[in-house]
Structure 1
Amino acid sequence: MSEMSPSADGQNRATGEATDPTISVVIPTLNEEENIETCLDSVFDALQDGPSFEVILVDSNSEDSTVERARQYPITVLQITEDDLTTPGAGRYVGWKVANGDLLLFVDGDMQLTGDWVRDAHDTIESEPNVSGVDGYLDRATSAERESVNAINGVMLYDAAVLDEVETFDPFLQGYEDIILGFQLRAAGYDLLRLPIVSATHARPYEISQLKRRWNNGYMYGLGQVVRKSLTSPKILKLLLIRNLMFVLFLLLFSVGVATFVVSRILFVGWVLMATSLFLADSLWEGPSFAAERWIRNGISWYGFCRGFLMTVRAPSEFPLDAVETIADGTTHGPGIESAPKVSAS
């Protein structure tokens, strides 16, 4: 294993070497041993008849066999070796740093990519110069029309040249790194599109048990971090407010509860009665189980928001690339690959 080279300006953001793939696929992972082979197979299947591509997997110091399984494929495998640096933003940032392609395709390690979306997304960016990024729907499409959006997420295809112009993914964000990047791109005058097609299927449908996973991985801190980071950007703060209006209402409610508890027990009792009434109304509106899940989720998110807001804002350039190790060097692949060719791990 070797350390990843420091970043440098040029075609390859890490080495400055000449480029050849059209698409660089970046796959951030954390303990995805159950999903990573399915993910990689889907990537090779989706891109085999398209333009040339490379695959870069950036692992966040997984404790399972994710890296060992990924090394069976002819891809670049990098690993962030310090746990306090292993954020979703870091995986995407490191992938961007070493990517060679004109287009950057981000796919999470628990997703199964679809080929139809890749072709349509590629054609869209190639034919519409002001479009900087394209996504689709996870699992099922809920619209028959493409739409302009303020941010893309899930599986995302970006124009690499545009990402080079902006701050790109913030490696210190525990979450929301894709949303804040979308807002920055829109603020810079670029368009983002959502195509009316399924981009991938997802191995983890959302349920209450996901709260524990999101908390353990620090994802709950992301919104607080981006609000703190955007205090001097009113336009981005407005977009964050619009996107999270329901949570903002819960944020105010829980904050008032804490304030009344500190100031006056009588006021706190009044707050409890008010909150109970709102919960009962919510239960009558959408059912007690849904209401309970929403209130628990927002209560935990309130605490996560406060923790994230108090975190120090750091510039992406401060990310220590010497903490990234190269596990395997990949190659560029072209049209005509019939399946994902596995290789023996060295």
Structure 2
Amino acid sequence: MTRVSIIIKAYNEEVHIASAIESALAALPSPEGEVVLVDSASVDKTLECALPYPISIFRIANASERCCGAGPQIGYAHAKGDFLCLMDGDMVLDKEFIKTALAFLNDHPDVAGVGGRIDEMSTENIEFKNRARNLSHLNPLGEVDRLAGGGLYRRSAIDELGYLTDRNLHGYEEFDLGARLRSSGWKLVRLNVPAAKHFGHTSSTYRLLFHRVKMGYIFAPGEMLRASINAGYFARVIRSLREFKLWVAVLGYWSAFALLALFTSYGAAFAALALLGVAAIILALTVWKKSFSNGTYMVIGWHVFTIGMLFGLFRPRISPLKPLTVETLRLSR
């Protein structure tokens, strides 16, 4: 009988972790399946809430190794399933998704992973409100380049790659996984079926942005680009990564004005013109989005992530194959 391992990655999810685990247990298609929770050194009651459940629980022992790519990789290293389902600790998995995804994978041997629709349930801040409005654009149906938000993967395809997710990545780990799978000839498909409900951050817009900075998430694009350069799939990444052109545009904008300001006699004038240009962009976005706060946040976010991309690009890397330091808290039977 097919065995499925559901891998949940979590960090400070005491509010949602019980619902996530219960939904995962309910979605297992056979008694031989398992749920594997990987906790990223949470400082709240996530583990206390999770321990009563009949699941395997692992904890990243070294908080400095905490990042989005570490949790799923630890789960992969300890999972026993022929198929691996990835989800976050703030998600509720649809009970029928795995059965539907398994049937599709069995009928399509050239497909490595299957996703479904992810419903954004938290729209208190601008980021998640925009994400909910643009789900069809962010998570298109059919053959896709990534399974953002998780999905069901064929383990044999992952074994060919040598690792599931890159332990160096503070984000974009599913994008990177998709690029590696597709470079190896595999396909990814998102079905028009419910997969999970996502209960994201409910903090204010700029508090969430600060959280992204604090947790290193803004380094992720650069880290992924660095990984793709080292492994030879950079061209595939930049073709698929829509944000890349935006970051290049931001860098080009400021570089051009900086050169004009430094090497001409009209430095102050060019500096003022650059700031006026930013104001004009904010005004245009305000009209387009019908919201000054949204327009302002978008421009600030572009700049923060562009700077983060540069830092991430030059961060030192550890081999993705190197095991992480893990504490085993519980093994399911």
Q: Indicate the TM-score class for this superposition, using the shorter chain for normalisation.
A: 0.7 to 0.9
1:25 aligns with 2:6: yes
Match of 2:222 among 213, 221, 224: 224
Query: 1:212 Cα deviation (Å)?
Result: 2.5
SS of equivalent to 1:32: coil
Offset from partner CA, 1:93-128 (integer Å, 9 cap, x none)? 111111110000111000000012222111111221
Match of 1:127 among 98, 104, 107: 107
Query: 1:142 Cα deviation (Å)?
Result: 4.2
CA distance in 2, matches of 1:117, 1:329: 25
Q: Is the 2:254–2:274 contact (alpha carbons within 8 Å) kept by the matching residues of 1?
A: no
Give the aligned partner of residue 253 of structure 2. 253
**Identity over aligned pairs, percent:** 29
The correspondence of residues 223-242 of structure 1 with structure 2, limited to 5 A, is: 223-231=221-229, 232-242=232-242
Offset from partner CA, 1:202-226 (integer Å, 9 cap, x none)? 1116872432332222111100111
1:302 aligns with 2:302: no
Q: Is the 2:3–2:83 contact (alpha carbons within 8 Å) kept by the matching residues of 1?
A: yes
2:320 partner letter: P
Query: Which one is further off, 290-299 or 173-182?
Result: 290-299
CA distance in 1, matches of 2:309, 2:60: 25
Offset from partner CA, 1:181-220 (integer Å, 9 cap, x none)? 1011111111100011221111116872432332222111
Query: 1:241 Cα deviation (Å)?
Result: 4.2
1:313 aligns with 2:308: no
CA distance in 1, matches of 2:310, 2:173: 17
Q: Is the 1:21–1:54 contact (alpha carbons within 8 Å) kept by the matching residues of 2?
A: no
CA distance in 1, matches of 2:208, 2:259: 29
The correspondence of residues 1-346 of structure 1 with structure 2, limited to 5 A, is: 22-47=3-28, 49-50=29-30, 52-139=32-119, 142=136, 146-166=141-161, 167-204=163-200, 208=205, 209-231=207-229, 232-242=232-242, 244-256=244-256, 264-287=267-290, 288-319=292-323, 321=324, 323-331=325-333
SS of equivalent to 1:168: coil
Cα separation, partners in 2 of 1:262 and 1:60, compared to 1, 3 Å: farther
Superposition TM-score, scaled by structure 1 size: 0.82
Superposition TM-score, scaled by structure 2 size: 0.85
Q: Is the 1:23–1:51 contact (alpha carbons within 8 Å) kept by the matching residues of 2?
A: no
Cα separation, partners in 2 of 1:106 and 1:274, compared to 1, 3 Å: same
SS of equivalent to 2:221: helix
CA distance in 1, matches of 2:259, 2:237: 24
Give the aligned partner of residue 6 of structure 1. none
CA distance in 1, matches of 2:183, 2:167: 20
Cα separation, partners in 2 of 1:261 and 1:27, compared to 1, 3 Å: farther
CA distance in 1, matches of 2:156, 2:320: 18
CA distance in 1, matches of 2:194, 2:258: 42
Cα separation, partners in 2 of 1:135 and 1:252, compared to 1, 3 Å: farther
2:309 partner letter: F
**Could you say what the CA RMSD is over the residues aligned between the two structures, in angstroms?**
2.4
Cα separation, partners in 2 of 1:281 and 1:90, compared to 1, 3 Å: same
The count of residues paired between Structure 1 and Structure 2 equals 308
SS of equivalent to 1:316: coil
CA distance in 2, matches of 1:301, 1:256: 19
1:249 partner letter: A
Query: Which one is further off, 79-88 or 258-267?
Result: 258-267
Runs of 4 or more, structure 1, over 6 Å off, are none
CA distance in 2, matches of 1:238, 1:81: 34
Q: Is the 1:254–1:302 contact (alpha carbons within 8 Å) kept by the matching residues of 2?
A: no
Q: Is the 1:132–1:192 contact (alpha carbons within 8 Å) kept by the matching residues of 2?
A: yes
Cα separation, partners in 2 of 1:302 and 1:99, compared to 1, 3 Å: same
Query: Which one is further off, 258-267 or 159-168?
Result: 258-267
Cα separation, partners in 2 of 1:307 and 1:137, compared to 1, 3 Å: same
CA distance in 2, matches of 1:258, 1:37: 52
